[in-house]
A = this chain, B = another copy of it.
Amino acid sequence: MFYLSNTFQEFSQDYSNLFEKDNLDLFFQKVLVERNSQLSGYYDLPFKDNQEIFDYLEHNAKFLDSITNIIVVGIGGSSLGAKAIDALLSHQNNRKKIKLHFLEHTDPIIIQKDLRRVKYEDTLFIVISKSGLTIETTSLFKYILARFCLLKSDRKHHLVAITDSNSPLHKWCQKEQIQNITISPNIGGRFSVLSAVGLLPLAILGYDIQGILQGAKQISNNFFIKREDDILKKALFLAKNETKYPINVLFSYSTVFRHFNAWYVQLWGESLGKLDTYQQKRGLTPIALIGSIDQHSFLQLIMQGPANKTVTFLNVENLSQKPLYIPDISLDGLEMTDFVNQTSFNQLLKLQCTSTKESIMLQNVPVDSIILDTLNEQSVGALIFYYELLTSCVGILLQIDTYNQPGVEFGKKILREKFTHS
């Protein structure tokens, strides 16, 4: 089955030494060692049975049939994954008519707006936090507990938590008899979308989560069993050129990728921006764009600005929607634009993607493409796991810990001090 066509060779003209079989084999062994070390548990997620999720769905079937809102309280890795996948698949018929909100901003304007029309009676609240100690999540969680009185015994079933096993939040749930699903502590937020963190809300929305995992499994098997080496090569190219091309642009052609873009930025930025074994600052800077709209915003800089960027184009070959055509109208004086008349907007978008790609390649900017044959659970699962594996591979080459985020702790400490001293 074909999900991803990664035309990576476009990157790689002069890298034959780097791509020698021995070098690739050695690199592959390092990935295998990392996987087996259980430094991160995400490698195994495509192969889990997720019985806890299916049990929850079964035990709460009647209640879940009655809800019209899901409110996820969670930030960063606890929200970006499910949001990305829902946006990519929301055109599907199996998507139930449930509104999905994410309460993640401590911005009061947004909190008010998001909760304006929400009644607890038809709402499931999902609180997601590895520890329960994330300040935004816990503050928002307290707010909804108070606002909707969710600890009354007849309302507790409106609440479910997803958290690390034995975390403070997990213990609180057990004490308060709140339903919960635990995840393994070695699955970090930004690598957690294929665990209950992403899969539980997606399953309740009606998506085929087994299909998502199947797509991910395919990518895993291509890499670990079939030993396909496109991800290894791309990682080698990117890490080797860390200084020459410090910026990696993902140029996604369709607005449905907007939240996937945000997920990519977090995965890439927070995983790879690290001190390495030698305490050197390493990393690659992600930028994510939407085509064709950002052709009118960022393309000029790619074309004629500093040659410090690689660009990955991401688009969909076949959209399932009914095509929409540009009418065959000629306007006096504007005939120059008639060459696209009677084209479908989707065809126009695809050709804009190709044309932009070609124009960038003519500037010798390193370019590659990811083409999804269509948008469905399998292709989206594949895309997610492709990017997770790629991130791990680059991290190994940079000699960093891909899965921690020590740099964000400093600001949290300063915040706490401001409160303690004021």
Contacts and interface: CB of A to CB of B under 8 A. Distances in A.
Given A108-B323, A334-B132, A305 B414 contact: no
Contact of A274 (B136, B142, B300): B300
Interface string A268-298: 0110111100000111110100101101111
A135 B340 contact: yes
A118 interface: no
Given A287-B287, A292-B136, A273 B349 contact: no
A267 to B, nearest CB: 9
Nearest to A336: B133
Interface in A105-159: 105-112, 132-133, 135-136, 138-139, 142-143, 145-146
Interface string A389-422: 0000000000000000111101111111011100
A271 to B, nearest CB: 8
A139 B345 contact: yes
A414 B301 contact: no
A327 to B, nearest CB: 4
Contact of A326 (B105, B139, B323): B139
A332 B170 CA distance: 11
Number of copies of this chain that the complex holds: 2
A266 to B, nearest CB: 4
Interface in A306-331: 306-309, 319, 321, 323-324, 326-327, 329, 331
A172 to B, nearest CB: 5
A266 B297 CA distance: 4
Interface of A: 75-77, 80, 91, 104-112, 132-133, 135-136, 138-139, 142-143, 145-146, 168-169, 171-172, 175-176, 189, 242, 246-247, 254-256, 262, 265-266, 269-270, 272-275, 281-285, 287, 290, 292-293, 295-309, 319, 321, 323-324, 326-327, 329, 331-334, 336-337, 339-341, 343-346, 348-349, 351-352, 354-356, 358-360, 362, 405-408, 410-416, 418-420
B352 A106 contact: yes
